[in-house]
Chains A and B, each alone.
Chain A
Amino acid sequence: MALKERIERQPATAALASLRVDDGPVPHIRIEPSKGWVSLKLRELWEYRELLYFLIWRDIKVRYKQTVLGAAWAIIQPLFTMVVFSVFFGRLAKIPSDGIPYPIFSYTALVPWTFFAQGLNQAVSGMVSHANLIKKVYFPRLAIPIARVLAGVVDFSLAFIVLLGMMLAYDIVPTVNTLWLPLFLLLALITSLGTALWLAAMNVQFRDVGYTVPFITQFWMFATPIVYPSSLLPEPWRTLYGINPMTGVVEGFRWALLGTDTAPGPIIVVSSLVALALLVSGAFYFRRMEKTFADVV
């Protein structure tokens, strides 16, 4: 009986083994103390892609459970912020908006910004709220912040649909540059994840970091051309402004959708370089700190 079962199970087990590891049917791992900087183990992350998928799926499914307005929350936040900005900054303070109606000028920036800020916030708090998982199961810890940031794409899409509606209402025809949009979204994602990796790894040890995230996002928002255009700055400062990667994202969105002429080229290059540096360094820092997560979280 037992033998028969074993024979039946064999193919499945073999298939699994080949999915997880590729050096023979019996994977061998040596568990020993790691020293200094460690590799990112991206291949292992790839092997755990199904878990990543399930974590994203869970985040999305659970996010608006037991709420009355449900997914409407994804729209309410940027939309109301836009209304407030339009009244105070657009109408009262008369901040220029590159010749675009102020509401859509600010909303176009708020959509990627909200994606960035939510992703950052979720990813940082995710390490602590998944403490139990970290303490009880092994998986590449990078999966948590990645899943958290990626889950925000759904909210982004909802808010983006509203943006398209507004463009229709304001009679703005998207330019061919819209094709670049996914790239700008990717840039926002990289920025969000890169920052989150640094802060999330620190937050595991020191919950203080979690408390600073709202401050950081608030200051960062005003350091990003959301309520004002970056064309207020003369060159070369404008390009240098790209050191804040969200500048590249926001100006990129406006350029692609609204056809503003703040040439994104140099800004985007600077922003992309900074964002990538943030991501790579964040990932290494995260991996370095990872070994202590289960002990101190």
Chain B
Amino acid sequence: MSDIAVHVEGLSKQYHIGKRQERHDTLRDTLTDAFIAPFRRAGKLLRGQATGAAELDETIWALKDVSFEVKRGEAVGIIGRNGAGKSTLLKILSRITEPTGGYADVYGRVGSLLEVGTGFHHELTGRENIYLNGAILGMTRVEIERKFDEIVAFSEVEKFMDTPVKHYSSGMYLRLAFAVAAHLEPEILLVDEVLAVGDAAFQKKCLGKMGNVAQEGRTVLFVSHNMGAITQLCEWALWLDNGQLKLTGPSSDVVAAYLSSGTEGCAVWSSSSTEPRNIEAQLKSARILSVDNQPTAVVDFDSPFKVEIAYDVIDPVRDLSVTYQLLDSQGNLVFEAMDTDMPEWKGRVREPGQYLAVCKVPARLLKPGRYYVSLASFIEYIKIIERQEGVLAFDVSEVGYLLNPGRLGVVSPVLEWEVNQVDTTDRVASNETKNQAENTGPSASPLSEKTR
């Protein structure tokens, strides 16, 4: 028997995306189109050209001519930016959607974990949901019964097994959901970004569990934005870019190449409209700048960076405020900053003209990971003029990140501490502290413990 688990050859997937909305200049155009379109669509439906409610002309290749081979027992990381085709690849391999071209040979029972808690029902109890979710993920009833106690123990919500999950906190819900998923025992496991949920401690537990999975000789394909997890769990990785295979190799090499590629992320944005659409002010462009004023999509943890926003003021306006919001990869709002934070612009009338606002963000503040910047301009307490969601994307790399990776919180600032020994104690007490220090050592990074 061959030792190949997955063989992918020329795999492609084309998606139909809606044609860009055409501008209807008159009500008559809008009405005519609204009247004719349903008939066109009905005709297409009857001919079996099912393509979706939107117009069907534009297509994109979510995956184009991807070939690779995974051996039995290997753990492979799949990386790439959003929309690079990572999830599409997993969806095809788990047979949720069909490829448009090429083929994949899969040897072994496939379990896919594209989301935790799929099929959970809020009205059902924890116990009932374990059975339901297990069945949906492909476990047999016998298998679920056999692992039931283990699942419950892993989830840490024993006490609430007979409570409907709608009364669970979101953390409990996710723990239960992951507990079921973590006990899947297929020969090939496909995992998509599911670890992006839950608190850090539980995330670690899950990573440890996944490490076990790989050690048990099962094949794992793992999509993640968590580069640390990829390098720790996977022997090799493949990097997808715009649906195409950009690089494969040992995971640390691929991750390094991926992180250092300047094309990753989007360091520069400029407004697509040439004419101002707003009366008061118009956002023109924005950039992420490194310390030496170069646009960059990767910022080191231990170096500061700048957010630069250019805008035009069209009409004299008082209390105009241009702001940006920084969101993390899960969409959490990390902070919001306004160019009126500086007292000299507070409440002042802005004369028409071009403005350039630069905000310095200190080093050692943002946790390593992906961040997005949304822009907005508004007149304080009066109205929002313009919003531009998620126009910039950048990564804070782990370079210089010496902190405990399990540190909780949205940000991980390195703050100034003043630590002095203020008194001497006897030897016993100092021994105790020494022991404690030793105990916290390994538990602070159980990952390396479990996976190595």
Measuring CB to CB, which residues of chain A are less than 8 angstroms from any residue of chain B?
2, 5-6, 9, 12-13, 16-17, 19-21, 26-34, 50-51, 53-54, 57-58, 61-62, 65-66, 132-139, 202, 204-208, 288-289, 291-292, 294-296
Query: In this assembly, does B277 line the interface, its C-beta being within 8 Å of a C-beta of chain A?
Result: no
Contact of A205 (CB < 8 Å), options: B45, B97, B101, B106: B45
Nearest-Cβ distance from residue A13 to partner chain B, whole angstroms:
7
Determine if B45 and A28 form an interchain contact, defined as CB atoms under 8 angstroms apart: no
* A2–B212 CA distance with the chains assembled, in angstroms: 8
Query: In this assembly, does B223 line the interface, its C-beta being within 8 Å of a C-beta of chain A?
Result: no
Determine if B124 and A61 form an interchain contact, defined as CB atoms under 8 angstroms apart: yes
Closest to A57 in B: B132
Determine if A34 and B98 form an interchain contact, defined as CB atoms under 8 angstroms apart: yes
Determine if A31 and B104 form an interchain contact, defined as CB atoms under 8 angstroms apart: yes
Nearest-Cβ distance from residue A37 to partner chain B, whole angstroms:
10
Query: In this assembly, does B398 line the interface, its C-beta being within 8 Å of a C-beta of chain A?
Result: no
Nearest-Cβ distance from residue A201 to partner chain B, whole angstroms:
8
Closest to A31 in B: B104
Write out the residue numbers on chain B whose beta carbons fall within 8 Å of the beta carbon of A6.
216-217
Closest to A289 in B: B50
Among B89-111, those with CB < 8 Å from A are 91-110
Knowing A27-B108, A62-B121, the reply to whether A137 touches B136 (Cβ < 8 A) is: yes
* A296–B41 CA distance with the chains assembled, in angstroms: 14
Q: Which 7 A-B pairs have the closest CB atoms?
A: A32-B103, A54-B135, A65-B123, A138-B95, A31-B104, A294-B97, A296-B52
Measuring CB to CB, which residues of chain B are less than 8 angstroms from any residue of chain A?
1, 15, 38, 41-42, 45, 48, 50-53, 91-110, 112, 114-115, 118-119, 121, 123-124, 128, 131-132, 135-138, 140-141, 143, 146, 185, 187, 212, 215-217
Determine if B45 and A202 form an interchain contact, defined as CB atoms under 8 angstroms apart: yes
Task: Please classify the interface of chain A as helix (H, G, I), strand (E, B), loop, or mixed, using the class held by over half of its residues.
Answer: helix
Nearest-Cβ distance from residue B275 to partner chain A, whole angstroms:
36
Nearest-Cβ distance from residue B134 to partner chain A, whole angstroms:
9
Contact of B112 (CB < 8 Å), options: A138, A204, A294: A138
Knowing A50-B141, A51-B136, A62-B124, the reply to whether A33 touches B101 (Cβ < 8 A) is: yes
Write out the residue numbers on chain A whose beta carbons fall within 8 Å of the beta carbon of B99.
31-33
Nearest-Cβ distance from residue B105 to partner chain A, whole angstroms:
5
Determine if A61 and B97 form an interchain contact, defined as CB atoms under 8 angstroms apart: no
Determine if B45 and A5 form an interchain contact, defined as CB atoms under 8 angstroms apart: no
Closest to A2 in B: B215
Contact of A133 (CB < 8 Å), options: B38, B119, B143, B185: B119
Nearest-Cβ distance from residue B345 to partner chain A, whole angstroms:
47
Determine if B140 and A19 form an interchain contact, defined as CB atoms under 8 angstroms apart: yes
Best-surrounded residue of A32, A65, A289 (most CB of chain B within 10 A): A32
Contact of B121 (CB < 8 Å), options: A58, A134, A139: A58
* A204–B107 CA distance with the chains assembled, in angstroms: 31
* A53–B140 CA distance with the chains assembled, in angstroms: 11
Write out the residue numbers on chain B whose beta carbons fall within 8 Å of the beta carbon of A289.
48, 50
Write out the residue numbers on chain A whose beta carbons fall within 8 Å of the beta carbon of B105.
28-31
Contact of A288 (CB < 8 Å), options: B48, B93, B94, B185: B48
Closest to A20 in B: B109
Determine if A137 and B137 form an interchain contact, defined as CB atoms under 8 angstroms apart: yes
Determine if A17 and B53 form an interchain contact, defined as CB atoms under 8 angstroms apart: no
Other contacts beyond A33-B99, A137-B118, A207-B53: 9, CB < 8 A: A17-B109, A31-B95, A50-B141, A54-B131, A137-B112, A138-B112, A202-B45, A205-B53, A292-B51
Write out the residue numbers on chain B whose beta carbons fall within 8 Å of the beta carbon of A208.
38
* A30–B107 CA distance with the chains assembled, in angstroms: 9
Determine if A29 and B140 form an interchain contact, defined as CB atoms under 8 angstroms apart: no
Determine if B114 and A137 form an interchain contact, defined as CB atoms under 8 angstroms apart: yes
Determine if B216 and A2 form an interchain contact, defined as CB atoms under 8 angstroms apart: yes
Best-surrounded residue of B42, B96, B102 (most CB of chain A within 10 A): B96
Write out the residue numbers on chain A whose beta carbons fall within 8 Å of the beta carbon of B185.
9, 12-13, 16
Determine if A138 and B96 form an interchain contact, defined as CB atoms under 8 angstroms apart: yes
Write out the residue numbers on chain A whose beta carbons fall within 8 Å of the beta carbon of B137.
137
Determine if B121 and A27 form an interchain contact, defined as CB atoms under 8 angstroms apart: no
Nearest-Cβ distance from residue B5 to partner chain A, whole angstroms:
9
Determine if B103 and A296 form an interchain contact, defined as CB atoms under 8 angstroms apart: no
Nearest-Cβ distance from residue B73 to partner chain A, whole angstroms:
11
Write out the residue numbers on chain A whose beta carbons fall within 8 Å of the beta carbon of B91.
294
Nearest-Cβ distance from residue A51 to partner chain B, whole angstroms:
5
Determine if A16 and B119 form an interchain contact, defined as CB atoms under 8 angstroms apart: no
Nearest-Cβ distance from residue A22 to partner chain B, whole angstroms:
13
Knowing A62-B124, A138-B96, the reply to whether A16 touches B140 (Cβ < 8 A) is: yes
* A139–B135 CA distance with the chains assembled, in angstroms: 10
Determine if A136 and B114 form an interchain contact, defined as CB atoms under 8 angstroms apart: yes
Contact of A206 (CB < 8 Å), options: B1, B45, B121, B217: B45
Determine if B96 and A294 form an interchain contact, defined as CB atoms under 8 angstroms apart: yes
Nearest-Cβ distance from residue B127 to partner chain A, whole angstroms:
12
